[in-house]
Amino acid sequence: MTTPLVMGVVNATPDSFSDGGQHFGFDQALAHARRLVAEGADILDIGGESTRPGAEPVAESEEIDRVAPLIAAIRAEGGVRISCDTMKPAVARAACAAGADIWNDVTALGRVPESAAVAAELGCTVVLMHMQGEPATMQADPRYEDVVAEVEAFLLARAEAAVGAGVRRDRIWLDPGIGFGKTVEHNLQLLRALDRLAGHGLPVVLGVSRKRFIRSIDAAAKDAGDRLGGSLAAALWGVGKGAAVLRVHDVRETVQAVKVWASIAEGAA
Ligand code: HH2
């Protein structure tokens, strides 16, 4: 059993899902990044464009201006791996030039045809995430015959496409995309079957932190900041089902939860 890596979210966006732009602006974002490193983050995921339904699209140059200087500043301080959450190959290119190691793409390198070739050229690790539809409309009426089988088939096909374009297989991570074009029941089915996705030998990234499905289960968790308990419960469930990376907002609490979980699990194995 290996302990999962904790990926802390740093949003350099004024309209993110869960922290409402709290960390928008270079100084605030850098201060937040430093705090997450001090709290034990293994990876920082830097995003300059929100994927929230109804969020304003961000121009490529604006997105680069938001993320590249931040990545360079974090890289200069060292001590953490850096991922860039972007759908745009030009932003990934600028992010890697500034020091990012990982391209986290919620479109699984599918938004722009040349994405996979760019990822191969950059030599970075790629996170291929599943999403049904487009961020603006994905939650309108998501439908699947068999969500687990469809997400699995999609991700494996995207992984093969990436390998075909020259991305090394050992640089591919998969993510079921919790909340991206999925009902609560779809999310729960994917979580229950996460071991199936993890069984293909590629690391699985799980992003459940502060997501809306927690509110659907606990109506009192109205604001994203009220969802820590649900976030930890879902994250630990994911660890038990083989998640290798947890994408989270609450790093300190997640690190502690994972340590306790791992201590118990080791003795029980
Ligand atoms: N979730 C969000 C954004 N990026 N990337 C991966 N790989 N997996 C996820 O589950 C995932 C992701 C949404 O979370 P949040 O940071 O709250 O919103 P935004 O990115 O829109 O600021």
CB of 87 shorter than 6 A to ligand 1: no
DSSP, collapsed to helix, strand or coil, labels residue 37 as: helix
| 205 within 8 A of 127, measured Cβ to Cβ | yes
Span 49-62, average pLDDT = 87
CA of 51 to the centre of ligand 1 (A): 7
Annotated catalytic, 227? Answer: no
Q: What is the pLDDT of residues 144-161, one digit of tens each?
A: 999 999 999 999 999 999
Q: Where are any strands of DSSP class E within the chain? A: 5-11, 43-47, 81-85, 102-105, 125-129, 172-175, 205-206, 245-248
**Ligand 1 atom closest to Cα of residue 106:** 5
pLDDT in tens, 14-49: 765 555 556 668 999 999 999 999 999 999 999 999
Atom of ligand 1 nearest to the CA of 16: 22
Query: Is the beta carbon of 106 within 6 A of some atom in ligand 1?
Result: yes
pLDDT at 23: 60
Where residue 51 falls among pLDDT bands split at 50, 70, 90?
confident
Of 182, 211, 215, 241, catalytic: 211
Q: For a pocket test of ligand 1, which of 9, 158, 208, 248 has the largest count of ligand atoms closer than 8 A to its C-beta? A: 9
Going by alpha carbons, the residue nearest to atom 18 of ligand 1 is: 17
- The answer to whether 252 is a known catalytic residue is no
For 24-28, 177-181, 254-258, which range has the lowest pLDDT when averaged over its residues?
24-28
Query: Residue 73 is encoded by which pair of tokens?
Result: 């500043």
> Is the CB of 85 inside a 6 Å radius of any atom of ligand 1?
yes
Among 225, 220, 218, CA closest to 253:
225
pLDDT band with cut points at 50, 70 and 90 for residue 86:
very high
- The stretch 235-245 carries a mean pLDDT of 98
pLDDT digits (tens, 9 = 90+) for 214-237: 999 999 999 999 999 999 999 999
From the CB of 13, is ligand 1 less than 6 Å away? yes
Using pLDDT thresholds of 50, 70 and 90, give the confidence band for residue 135.
Answer: confident
